Amino acid sequence: MNAILFVALIVGGTALLSWPLGRYMKWAMDPTPTPGSLAGKFDRLFHFFGGRFTGESQNWKQYIVSMLIFNVLMFAVSFGFMALQQHLPLNPDGQKAIEGSLIFNTAASFTSNTNLQHYSGESAMSYLSQLCALMWLQFVSAATGIAALAAMARGLAGKKQMGNFFLDLQRATFLILLPIAIIVALLMVLGGMPMTLAGAAHATTLEGIEQVIARGPVAAFLAIKQLGTNGGGFFGPNCTQPFENPTFWTNILATVSIILIPMACVWMFGRIVGRMRHATVVFAVMLVFLLGKITGAVWFEQAPTQAFTNLPIEQNVGNLEGKELRFGTSAGPLWAVLTTSTSNGSVNAMHDSLNPMTGLMPMIGMWLNATFGGVGVGMINMFIYIVLAVFVAGMMVGRTPELFGRRIEAFEVKLAVIALFAHSFFILGGTAIFAATPWGQNTLNNTGAHGFSEMLYEFSSASANNGSGFEGLGDNTVPWNVATGIVMLLARFIPIILPLAIAGSLAAKKPTAQSTGTLGVEDGTFGVMLIATIVFIGALTFFPVAALGPIAEHLQFMR
């Protein structure tokens, strides 16, 4: 009963909040230009920041080129800060040089909005690296996603000129992410989170032991990490570390921050395209998947820790291994689902220690990767499924497959299939290679089916640009760093570029008038069709590995 109330309050409350935020985001990203308006003044400021070029409108190809150039620079700058951290200031705890493949992996990880971490923040990164490399990327990589979504939506609204990347990037950064991050960070400070540039504190415990207590500018880092579906922790174990999540209430705020902007992105998309009924159907479909996964996770996590069977330990509570008490019983599985439905990847309980079937729910989230998804890119991923659903539905009933008055043809479907195929190829191919070689086998923390799950989860996380992990995996090795680094970059940019190309191709077509032969995308029937498309594609692709990992473990051990 308590669990239902807790989930309903957080998910329902955030869904309500997302509505006005989506409205605001439309205003911020795609303002209707009127002379002397506030949006016009901001645009003038952004032209001043970015130079005259930000005033030029770009077609989809130019937009992508600008995005890629900026992202290459993001990678390079963050790489530089991390590679030189031992020579730079703001390093009170004397963090040393970082190994090359780990720098590559981390720069790829934060540039791609993944935040997979093969290091522990408190023992590897100086404050300067945390702020200028990682936190900076948490702003601009999230802004890249929102910009890409705005551009795609404009294309689907029929515009061949999709806006200007540098203008969109600034709108997303300064008008959306920064103001909300300030609010959340200030609330986190009031909630008791550390915010200091002083180095670690040295304590002598009541029993006379020396305890070094790492700290830092946590509140600022945490806010944008949660809001931008970044998820990279300031500390190694992320939001299970009490400094990164001190109380029940900071946990609620952090949980809401995970899904707030991804939810609002759906509304922003609907408003820019001018199809709010379609957006409502998509929102409802995403909500169905979200609630399904939450129900599964909360349910399976109520089973007590299986290893305690036949030991003199009370069996009356759910699995507590890897969990923190202050968040309450349902907070772990709820967060686990939200953080993987969106591509956030922060954790408030160790996913490696979730019950087997609970651990499957985050994996499903990353495999589908479109249940609200990453800021901006989640809706872009869902668009790929929408294209396929329209096409398949059109084939089934013998109607012309059309989306927003433009025909879906072989070119669009090919691109959509390539984008989907890439995702499953990275996950299944990567897992297969590492499961068959010492690259993966020698890095496991658990044996049997759960060991397989550790590798499967790692590649799922990298390809979904998620960043959470079954953290027992000893993943700071050259093969893991290089392989997941490459996967993260490809899995970031392929599913942005291809949908933008689809939108560009659709925008170039002549609109056809809506007729009785047109398949509607704004009603419940289409919603059901979309759900079926996602379920079939997901199940056909990933059921075999699910059976080898979590399902096998469940059947073997759970009674």
Partner 1 sequence: MKSLVASIRLVIVTMLICVAGYTALILGFAQIVTPDTAEGSLIKDKDGKIVGSHLIAQSFTSAVYFWPRPSAVGYNAAGAGGSNKSPTSSDIADRVRTNTIPQYGATAEKPLPADLAAASGGGLDPHITERAAMYQAERVAKARGIPLSQVEALVKNQAFSPGGALTPDRLVNVLELNLALDRK
SS3 label, residue 244: helix
In whole angstroms, how close is the CB of 423 to partner 1 at the nearest point? 26
In this chain, which of 86, 196, 441, 442 binds partner 1, going by CB under 8 A?
A: 196
Instruction: Return the axis-axis angle of helices 448-463 and 356-368, rounded to nearest 10°.
Output: 20
The Cα–Cα gap between 384 and 419 comes to 8
The Cα–Cα gap between 241 and 312 comes to 29
In whole angstroms, how close is the CB of 104 to partner 1 at the nearest point? 19
User: Does 200 help bind partner 1 (rule: CB under 8 A)?
Assistant: yes
Nearer to partner 1 among residue 209 and residue 513 (C-beta)? 209
User: Does 195 help bind partner 1 (rule: CB under 8 A)?
Assistant: yes
Number of residues that bind partner 1 (CB under 8 A): 119
Nearer to partner 1 among residue 385 and residue 470 (C-beta)? 470
User: Does 203 help bind partner 1 (rule: CB under 8 A)?
Assistant: yes
The Cα–Cα gap between 123 and 354 comes to 26
Span 215-244, contacts to partner 1 by CB under 8 A:
215, 217, 219-220, 223-224, 235-237, 240-243
In whole angstroms, how close is the CB of 221 to partner 1 at the nearest point? 9
In this chain, which of 14, 21, 43, 54 binds partner 1, going by CB under 8 A?
A: 54
Phi, psi angle pair for 59, to nearest 5°: -80, 180
Nearer to partner 1 among residue 192 and residue 429 (C-beta)? 192
In whole angstroms, how close is the CB of 100 to partner 1 at the nearest point? 22
In whole angstroms, how close is the CB of 540 to partner 1 at the nearest point? 27
Q: Where are the alpha helices (DSSP H) in 157-238?
A: 165-170, 178-190, 218-227
The Cα–Cα gap between 420 and 533 comes to 12
Cα dihedral sign, 101-106-112-115: positive
Span 353-392, contacts to partner 1 by CB under 8 A:
353-356
The Cα–Cα gap between 169 and 440 comes to 38
Nearer to partner 1 among residue 321 and residue 522 (C-beta)? 321
User: Does 263 help bind partner 1 (rule: CB under 8 A)?
Assistant: no
User: Does 557 help bind partner 1 (rule: CB under 8 A)?
Assistant: yes
**Amino acid identity at 459:** F
In whole angstroms, how close is the CB of 5 to partner 1 at the nearest point? 7
In this chain, which of 11, 21, 29, 74 binds partner 1, going by CB under 8 A?
A: 74
Span 278-307, contacts to partner 1 by CB under 8 A:
304-307
Looking at 146-154, 284-292, 324-332, 516-524, which segment touches partner 1 (CB under 8 A)?
A: 324-332
In this chain, which of 102, 272, 336, 347 binds partner 1, going by CB under 8 A?
A: 347
User: DSSP letter at 349?
Assistant: B
Span 444-473, contacts to partner 1 by CB under 8 A:
445-447, 450, 470-472
Closest by CA position to 407, among listed 390, 419, 392: 390
Looking at 2-10, 388-396, 434-442, 481-489, which segment touches partner 1 (CB under 8 A)?
A: 2-10
User: Does 193 help bind partner 1 (rule: CB under 8 A)?
Assistant: yes
In whole angstroms, how close is the CB of 152 to partner 1 at the nearest point? 19
Q: How would you write 117-171 as a 3-class SS string?
A: CCCCHHHHCCHHHHHHHHHHHHHHHHHHHHHHHHHHHHHHCCCCCCCCHHHHHHH
The Cα–Cα gap between 37 and 34 comes to 6
Close Cβ partners of 498 (under 8 Å, ≥ 6 residues apart): 384, 415, 416, 418, 419
The Cα–Cα gap between 370 and 479 comes to 29
In this chain, which of 349, 364, 379, 408 binds partner 1, going by CB under 8 A?
A: 349
Span 479-538, contacts to partner 1 by CB under 8 A:
none
